[in-house]
Structure 1
Amino acid sequence: MQKAYNQFPALSAKQAKRKTLVSLTPLIDVVFILLIFFMLASSFTKWHSVEVNSSSSNAGGSLATDLPPFLVQVATDKLLLNNSEITLSSLLKQAKVKPSEQAIILQPLGDTPVQALIDILDELNAQGIAPLQLVQDPTWQASKQTKIRANMPLEVL
């Protein structure tokens, strides 16, 4: 005799438990997404300011003292103090013994990277050497790839 389709199989007293598998893939995906987000959102640089007087803020760029200039020219790979090559440690020693009213004039030469100038400014500020004045190299010319127009942002061709 055939069983009717509406009959259910008999349940035994000991029903087999189903094992539930939990996949860790979505959890790992979420962890990596959070890791990438926090890495991109965090800042690994120490931001601080350096106080510098530009030559245009002073009347005609002249100093208020009669002392000879303390001109430090910054290049990519060397430092010049009054047109003679000097090391950073020697510059720091000489800058510490200068009169307090005598400003140090920093002049980046040619296409000196800004980071080289900032490194020198940081060292001088860390030693408490002030006042500092920043002037432009009179021989510097903008490269032919850089085009500056009046009332327009800087364009690089």
Structure 2
Amino acid sequence: MIELGNTIPSVSVTVVTPEGQDVVSAEQLFAGKKAVLFAVPGAFTPTCSAHHLPGFVVLADDFKAKGVDIIACISVNDAFVMRAWGEQQNAEAITMLADGGAALTKAMGLEMETGDFGGVRSRRYAMVLEDGVVKQLFIEEPKQFEVSKAEAVLATL
């Protein structure tokens, strides 16, 4: 499992953009930036839609004021789902990342098997990256939502 001081793996993710989508390596995406990356088990799911993503949307300016260059939300969903969810959540300030095959999630050791819920999904977490290096890591225990919420992460910056 990824740990403090590790560099984010150089694995491709799909960045959802207003123009479409771009495939880039996570290492390249976060290079030279202070970033907050948070993961949800699934777009349009209850806690993710009611609390996790909205918390970062509401506090985006506060994160920027703390020197965060990019706030990214990743899920093991395809780019079309991530685009629709971002639009529905008015998440213009958040970079939506699709990890459709769970390549980055697995490379970081943060996958979980959910069976009939959706198969392989990501554990819920947040991390603070500086130039692609993990400086802070907040991994939730199963079915929990405390340490990775926007308010908790912001309080550590």
More strand by share: 2
State whether TM-score is above 0.5: no
Structure whose alpha-carbon radius of gyration is higher: 1
Return the structure number with greater helix share: 2
Which category describes the TM-score, using the shorter chain as reference length? 0.3 to 0.5
Q: Return the TM-score normalized by structure 1.
A: 0.35
**What TM-score do you get using the length of structure 2 for normalisation?**
0.35
Larger relative CO (CA 8 A, sep 6+): 1 or 2? 2
